[in-house]
Every structure is written in C-alpha cells, then in structure tokens.
C-alpha cells in the first residue's frame, strides 16, 4: 500500500528509462539527498563529521569501486586499498608539483592514474580467473605499497613516505571545517554514485554482468572480453583512486603507505559482502555497517563486561572485533549472500503488499 506502483504509467521512453521509475523511490532519494545536503550539515557535530560521516562516504565510494569490479564484472580483487593509495599519492603529487593545479582536477587525474595502474594489474585477468586472479591482485597490494615507501620521489622526499596534504581550496574557498569537507565529499560521492548507477544499466554494465555470469557465453555472443574486463578494472580503480584522494585530502590530512594495508582491502571487501555484491545501494549500506560495528563494539563491550563483572582490556576488544567481523562475513555469505541490499528489496516487497501478506 505504502509502496504501490499501480497507476504510475510510463507513457514515453524517457519515463521508461529513468533511473528510478517508481515515484516512491524518486521521492525517497530526494528526501535522502535533502537530508544529506541540508539537514545533516546543520545538525551534526564535528565528531559526527570527522569520525563517521566523512569516512562513511569515502569508504562507500571505495566499496562502490570494488563492487563494480567484483559485484558486476565478477573479478575478485584483494587490492582495492592499493588503488586507493595510488589515488592518494597521485593527487598529492599533482597538487605539490604543478603550480596552481585545481584540486578537483587533481582528484580526477588521481582517479585516472589509479585507473591506469588498475589496467596494468588487471591484465592477468585475461588469462586467469577466480582464485588465481584474487591472489594475483595481492601482487598489486604489496607492490604498490612497497613502491610508495621506497621511492622518495612519490612522497615528495618525505622520510618514511608519510605525506601531509595541503588544505583543499576550490575557487578561493578553503575547505577547512569538517562541515565544508563533508559537503565536498558528499557532492563528489553523489555524482560518482549517480554515474555508477547509470553505468551499470548501460551497455557497459550489461557486458560486465554477462562476463560475470558466464564469460565463455559472453564471448560467444560478441562481447569483447579483454575490453570489458579491462574497462571494469579501470573504472573500479578510478573510483578507488578518487576515494583514496578524498581519504588523504578530506579525511586524514596526512597518510602513510602502510595505512593502505591488506587489512583495509579486506575491510572494503567485507563492505560489499555485507552490503550486497552487485548493488550500488549495497556499497553504501555495507560501508555504514562495517564502519559502525567497531564503534558499536567499543561502546557495548565495556558496558557488557561491567554488567557481567568480567575482566576487560583493549586487546580483548580488538580480538572480539576480529571475531565479530569474521562471523558476520560467514553469516552473511550463508544466510543472505546478496547482503543488506537484498533485505531492503525484501522490505520493499513487503511494503507493496502491506497490509495484506499475500
């Protein structure tokens, strides 16, 4: 009843092809964007911006990138953090080395650099797939982080490869408050998410899904495997690269190569598993979930242990965190392989039928 589509007729092609064909979705997204762009900046405090909202958006973007590669094109990658690192360092170099370089342009160039590196490490996917490819992407992970540590040129000759980025400044406006940085990140992420949403329902996206579902058959019906796979790697790395640039410029301010470790790659992988493999919405849900679980545990565990008079220390929290993460991944893969996004779909189905169960 709440979610009823009856009476919403599509009378022209434009209406048939819009991103959200159902009015409720359009309204919902509109409200969400309004909330995100207007209410949240007014209501949230600095802690919320710095510790939750900005990282959430950045990780969602990275998860989106991985989701394009893994969820849509079916190529498992364990190196997303490395591509983020490429983005972060590339953006930094463009900023530092080219006088008067606009920040947004350097973000885009950083994404393109990451895309180039992504294509390079995606090349093996033409000959190998599945586990072999997953292991091969580890090569990217280790090699890139090593490179960033060992070539002082890449970090502008800073010792141990730590870079401290300058303040973001666009058209004379300096983004120095958490609020303004949040708005910048939100804008970029919204635009890229929109682009991704459109991409996956275009010819490109359908080609990706065909390759994912059965690559031999896709080749037989005339999809160029090499082109499609490498494009997926490029686009995915572009997203990760931009996420990395934002991570450095709008979230942390100074980053080191070791921050982009395998653990971060796994975290991003977990986001898409929990959120939903092959779903744009899922990337956001997963990022929120994976980000909030540790915060929740940090609050809940001391309280619980006090309740049961158990001994308690910080090491235990980190162990429990690992266990919870691991258990969650297995739980989702077993019970709901399509992740939180699928739950939302089920919810919509229920709302369609509400108040009648059938």
Chain positions contacting other proteins, by CB under 8 A: 76, 123-124, 127-128, 130-132, 134-136, 138-139, 142-143, 146, 149-152, 216-217, 220, 262, 266, 269-270, 273, 315-316, 318-330, 333-334, 337
- Is 170 within 8 Å of 186 (Cβ atoms)? no
Q: Minimum distance between the CB of residue 336 and other proteins, rounded to whole angstroms? A: 12
Q: Minimum distance between the CB of residue 255 and other proteins, rounded to whole angstroms? A: 19
Residue carrying structure tokens 């100074």: 254
- Can you read off the two tokens belonging to residue 206? 């359908």
Residue closer to other proteins, measured from CB, 150 or 350: 150
Q: Cα 122 vs. chain centroid, distance in angstroms?
A: 19
Residue closer to other proteins, measured from CB, 103 or 274: 274
For helices 103-122 and 225-246, what crossing angle results, to 10°?
Answer: 140
CA-wise closest residue to 341 among 146, 63, 6 = 63
Q: Minimum distance between the CB of residue 274 and other proteins, rounded to whole angstroms? A: 10
Residue closer to other proteins, measured from CB, 32 or 327: 327
Q: Minimum distance between the CB of residue 204 and other proteins, rounded to whole angstroms? A: 22
Residue closer to other proteins, measured from CB, 195 or 328: 328
Measured CA to CA, the distance from residue 152 to residue 154 in angstroms comes to 5
Residue closer to other proteins, measured from CB, 19 or 217: 217
Q: Minimum distance between the CB of residue 320 and other proteins, rounded to whole angstroms? A: 6
Q: Minimum distance between the CB of residue 324 and other proteins, rounded to whole angstroms? A: 8
Four-CA torsion 203, 209, 211, 216, nearest 10 degrees: -100
Residue closer to other proteins, measured from CB, 139 or 351: 139
Helix extents (H) in the chain: 13-17, 23-34, 40-43, 46-47, 54-66, 80-97, 103-122, 131-150, 178-200, 203-213, 215-220, 225-246, 262-275, 280-307, 314-335, 339-353
């Amino acid at each position: 009843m709440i979610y009823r589509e009856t009476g919403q007729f599509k009378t022209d092609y434009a209406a048939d092809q819009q991103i959200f064909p159902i009015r409720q979705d359009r309204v919902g997204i509109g409200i969400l964007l309004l909330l995100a762009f207007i209410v949240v900046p007014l209501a949230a405090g600095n802690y919320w911006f710095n510790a939750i909202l900005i990282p959430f958006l950045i990780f969602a973007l990275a998860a989106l990138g991985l989701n394009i590669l893994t969820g849509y094109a079916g190529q498992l990658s364990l190196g997303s953090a490395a591509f983020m690192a490429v983005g972060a360092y590339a953006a930094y170099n463009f900023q530092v080395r080219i006088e008067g370089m606009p920040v947004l342009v350097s973000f885009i160039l950083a994404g393109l650099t990451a895309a180039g590196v992504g294509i390079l490490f995606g090349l093996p996917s033409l000959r190998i797939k599945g586990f072999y490819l997953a292991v091969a992407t580890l090569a990217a992970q280790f090699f890139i982080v090593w490179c960033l540590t060992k070539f002082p040129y890449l970090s502008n000759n800073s010792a141990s490869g730590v870079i401290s980025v300058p303040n973001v400044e666009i058209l004379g406006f300096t983004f120095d408050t958490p609020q303004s940085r949040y708005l910048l990140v939100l804008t970029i992420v919204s635009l890229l998410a929109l682009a991704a949403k459109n991409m996956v329902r275009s010819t490109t996206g359908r080609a990706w899904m065909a390759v994912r579902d059965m690559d031999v058959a896709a080749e037989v019906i005339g999809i160029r495997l090499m082109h499609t796979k490498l494009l997926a790697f490029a686009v995915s790395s572009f997203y990760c690269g931009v996420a990395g640039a934002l991570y450095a410029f709008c979230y942390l301010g100074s980053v080191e190569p070791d921050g982009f470790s395998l653990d971060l790659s796994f975290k991003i992988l977990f986001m898409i598993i929990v959120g939903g493999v092959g779903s744009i919405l899922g990337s956001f849900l997963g990022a929120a979930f994976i980000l909030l679980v540790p915060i929740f545990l940090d609050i809940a565990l001391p309280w619980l242990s006090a309740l049961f008079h158990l001994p308690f220390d910080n090491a235990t929290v980190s162990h429990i965190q690992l266990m919870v993460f691991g258990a969650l991944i297995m739980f989702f893969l077993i019970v709901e392989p399509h992740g939180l996004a699928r739950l939302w779909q089920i919810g919509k189905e229920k709302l369609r039928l509400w108040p009648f169960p059938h």
